[in-house]
Structure 1
Amino acid sequence: MNESIILEGEGVRLVPLEQHHAEELYEAGCYKEIWTYLPIVVNSLDDMRSWIEAALSRKKQGFEYPFAVLNKETNVCIGSTRFMNMDLQNKGLEIGWTWYTPALWRSRVNTECKYLLLQYAFEQLQLIRVQLKADTRNERSNQAIARLGAVREGILRQDRVLPDGYIRNAYIYSILDKEWPEVKQRLEQYLERIVQNESN
């Protein structure tokens, strides 16, 4: 996979995650509610640096491709997302580790990021399957994934042990290459409606 993937939309720019993003990401991510359903908790700048280091290690091994998400207008980091569980031989990967600063929850940011990631996966990498997962308790994330048009395939039981000791179950979703044109149209229409509403 290309070492320098940059994905650019109307309001966001996804750039390869690097250590120099740590301070801005810590500022964006220093809200306890972000980490409720994620496998780690970031309580300090050192935690964020360690999290980035782990992501870059997985990238070097070829398992993941992490991004910093920037607000195009301010060029400031507002969150992160990544390609993970990459299996390019079998033409599949997962989009995950997605989080944004809470002020942008339920904004266009997540939809635009997912649009850019899915477009790259299906149209540049020529994949046949993209999957997503979410803690079954995380209603906000599950609603957001369903709104994309992803198909819920089932539950991964006792999928992961979280930092507080809770053993989570996760819903697993997928979008297939043959479904992408319809999903793409749905996302473009949704983003267009948001732009129209913002201009009114």
Structure 2
Amino acid sequence: MNFEKDLYLEDDHVLLRPIKPGDLEQLQPIALDADTWRWYVTRIANIQDLEEWAQAAFNDRRDHKRYPFVIVDKATGKLAASTAYGNISAFDKRLEIGWTWLGEDFRSTGLNRHCKFLLLSYAFDVLQYERVELKTDVLNIRSRKAILKIGATEEGTLRSHMLMHNGRRRDTIYYSILRPEWPAIKATIFTDLTFTCTQV
């Protein structure tokens, strides 16, 4: 994972590109929708929170902890929100896909499927990693179904794992896809999609 280069992942419907300071204006309406953060550990409640979220994203990339993207819907040219690679271990050849949030207009549209395909393709086909992890709140049924639909295997639940912004102790459910599983997943679940990547 080269944190020093800008990474662009795309197919016919979606472009994932590094977040830039100028993106915050477009992200603001999505970020300030309280429902966006229902299942998240943190929340963005105002413009200052959004600026702090962005600064944390920039810092994490600088420190090689997380590689954050914005999601661009190619049909409209609009930003749909954000996603990221994180918990990256080059030695172990594994990473996590997460930190994903979507605007209401882009939920249940298939856009998230395209995003996951791009991120999985780069992790397995380019980086040649062995394991991709995903996790969510055990109560987030929509997210759990979506993760299973992309071919991930449920691994188990970490009880009282994280503190939510509202004070609730979250149980976190983990999923994974392994490198030997990826060819079959790509040939069935994602058979209609193609992937390109550019680093500059």
Same fold (TM over 0.5): yes
Letter in 2 for 1:34: T
What is the SS of the residue equivalent to 1:74? coil
- The residue that corresponds to 1:197 in the other structure is none
Q: Judging by fraction of residues, say which structure has more helix.
A: 1
Asked whether 1:36 is paired with 2:38, we answer yes
Name the structure, 1 or 2, with higher relative contact order (CA <8 Å, separation 6+).
2
What is the SS of the residue equivalent to 1:131? strand
Task: Give the % identical residues.
Answer: 35
Distance in 2, Cα, partners of 1:103 & 1:182: 31
User: Which of 69, 72, 84 does residue 70 from structure 1 map onto?
Assistant: 72
Residues 165 and 190 (structure 1 numbering): CA distance in 2 closer, same or farther, change over 3 Å? farther
Distance in 2, Cα, partners of 1:48 & 1:120: 28
1:176-195 alignment runs, 5 A limit: 176-189=178-191
Normalising by structure 2, we get a TM-score of: 0.92
Please report how far the alpha carbon of residue 74 of structure 1 lies from its aligned counterpart in structure 2 after TM superposition.
2.9
Moved over 4 A (4+): none
In the TM superposition, what whole-angstrom CA distance separates every residue of 1:20-61 from its partner, at most 9, and x where no partner exists? 111111122322111011121111222111101111111111
Mind listing any 5+ residue stretches in structure 2 that lack a counterpart?
Answer: 195-200
- The residue that corresponds to 1:135 in the other structure is 137
Letter in 1 for 2:12: E
Mind listing any 5+ residue stretches in structure 1 that lack a counterpart?
Answer: 193-200
1:18-97 alignment runs, 5 A limit: 18-97=20-99
What RMSD, in angstroms, separates the aligned Cα atoms of the two structures? 1.4
Please report how far the alpha carbon of residue 191 of structure 1 lies from its aligned counterpart in structure 2 after TM superposition.
5.8
What is the SS of the residue equivalent to 2:184? helix
Contact 1:115 1:187 in 2 (8 A): no
Distance in 1, Cα, partners of 2:152 & 2:190: 15
Normalising by structure 1, we get a TM-score of: 0.92
Letter in 1 for 2:127: L
Letter in 2 for 1:54: A
Please report how far the alpha carbon of residue 182 of structure 1 lies from its aligned counterpart in structure 2 after TM superposition.
1.3
Residues 134 and 58 (structure 1 numbering): CA distance in 2 closer, same or farther, change over 3 Å? same
